[in-house]
A and B are shown apart, each in its own frame.
Chain A
């Protein structure tokens, strides 16, 4: 997926991210090894595009964040249930 495509995908999912914010962020994630980037010039017409993909390290990071998120949801649900019982 290249940068412009990613912005459109996020926008369709109602996650508006400014272009001037997204590209520097992708740049850092690439430098940290979470993403790999490849310039495609031959397969597409027109100007070159930089395609990003997740590295294994990036996939692990997403899995960690997803697990953490699930834990948080479980904790909140438990707390909410406790409050209901108190009532």
Chain B
């Protein structure tokens, strides 16, 4: 079969063939112009011969039998020991890669948001001295505690003191904490605290009867010093309370935690210790008018006797 040269459907004028030959020529760029021209003419000759032999065969099929122009060009380059050009990534592969990476990115993004929204991811301890990355990571070197989570406002340590009349009561109300209570020889009630988390500072109310000191609902780490002979009432929910050589009556009501008691060697005590769901060490009570009353009611925990200051 022969083609009419004026007929636009002649395969010589097929735009797909032109595009193929253009792509082939681009991919053969490392070769000389004459070499490129010869290869293009030969490939075109092949396509026309194939179409001449089977006119019903579409140009597209003949071209796909040849292979991608970049692949054909690379074979020419390899045969001539010229470094082949990198074949372009197929659009299907490109979109598959983009889709795959996008699918991975969405849960990763979601997870990142979730971590910083519902944190802390890890939290050991309640307090810290140093913060990094805007307090996303906080390290309490003293207590070997690390917290990783959303940034929080830097804690404001607070401390203060009040003078108490002899015999005035002290009432401490705490939510969670790590509290150490000591006896002072003077008449000042002193506190030195660091708040963990967002919480208000202490609420202090004074009355003729005594002084009420409240930290709630935040957790706190405090060193509290109580004047000798000022009865102390302490209420809290969880944590550790350490009574170091108390020189005053104590009425402690605590839940979920550890109560450490270090009796002073030069004082005598009467212990009234009640533990629900827990245990207590044995303490020696001395009956007598001048004994200091230590009353502890503990739910879920342990009352530990400390022999000497560590």
Contact = CB atoms under 8 A, between A and B. Distances in A.
B46 A19 contact: yes
Interface of B: 2, 12, 39, 41-46, 48-50, 52-53, 65-67, 71-72, 75-76, 78-80
A84 B66 CA distance: 47
Given A24-B75, A49-B49, 18 more contacts: A2-B49, A3-B42, A4-B46, A4-B49, A4-B50, A18-B65, A19-B66, A20-B71, A23-B42, A23-B46, A24-B79, A27-B39, A27-B76, A27-B79, A47-B44, A47-B48, A47-B49, A50-B41
A46 B72 contact: no
Interface centre among A8, A23, A49 (most CB of B within 10 A): A23
A45 interface: yes
Contacts, number: 62
Interface of A: 2-5, 8, 18-21, 23-25, 27-28, 31, 39, 45-50
A76 B120 CA distance: 77
Contacts of B2: 45-46
A28 B50 CA distance: 23
Per DSSP, chain A at the interface is helix
B52 to A, nearest CB: 7
Interface centre among B44, B46, B53 (most CB of A within 10 A): B46
Given A3-B42, A24-B72, A46 B79 contact: no
A24 B53 CA distance: 22
B202 to A, nearest CB: 85
